Amino acid sequence: MDDIHYREYKILLRPERFFDPHQFEVYWHKLGQIAPEFKVGVTTNKDGFKRQVREVLFYDTPDYDLYRNAFILRKRTFYTDGWPEPEHELTLKFRHPELAVAAAVDVVPHLSGKADIKFKEELLPLKDSLGGMRSLYSHNCVLLSPGIVLDAGLERITSVFPELAEHCPADKAATIALVNNLPVEEVQVNVGSFDFGHGLEAKATIAVWRDRATESSIIGEFAFQAKFDRYDALHAKALTRSEEFFRAAQTQAPEWVKLGATKTALVYNFGKQLVASHEG
């Protein structure tokens, strides 16, 4: 439970840069120019710019009790040729800047069926300057079409995830609803991968989130994620190379970078005052 098996590097991108679909390719080309400086191998997938559409919905109490206590409850539906697929993902995520705190939270559900448990280190830029790096630790549980009625209330959610009751001191009778009544449309390309040497490889994606009601862009994101068996077995040179590239992707393409938040934080603060959270 408390072993990190993923390292995901994320950079938020200015939504105004994505004024047409070709911008996915423009930004990837820019990254391809930066990578050789750090001896990073770049592979573009055969269908790397095929756009995938998903609906992303965040649920919380009216007082945002989950988010204020470092939990995120998200439903994600995939679309094929404009039609929603019958299966969807339900994710409960506990995200915190302290490794020990995140590791101690048990997100295993009390529910029959397969649960995919992931413990990640998420690398983000500094909130107020380019070229830096900070960590959030994320304990995730992903369920496939679990049949949970999300608007049934917090008590139903805590019956599936008992850890919520311990770490989220909210009224069990509280209702659960779509955060800010904001359905997010995510357009993503699984564009390719990076090779940092010594067996450290990462899959790369570029995505843009839009307000489904107005089709206006909320935020973009570039991310690359490495999966491994043991964190302490990662090669030091490969880790350094990945971090140097991550910093350079900020400083050498500053016109693309949006500092100061996470995608989730932007949804929670959509048109409102800032909501306190543990996201640093």
Which residues are bridge partners to 124 per DSSP?
134
Strand ranges (E), the chain: 6-13, 41-44, 52-60, 71-80, 83-96, 115-124, 134-144, 177-178, 184-195, 201-211, 217-227
Residue with more model confidence, 48 or 160: 48
Nearest to 189 by CA among 176, 204, 178: 204
pLDDT digits (tens, 9 = 90+) for 83-102: 888 888 999 999 999 999 99
Residue 2: the pLDDT is 63
Model confidence band, residue 152 (pLDDT cutoffs 50, 70, 90): confident
Cβ neighbours, 10 Å, residue 130? 16
- Report the alpha-carbon angle 84-89-95, nearest 5: 140
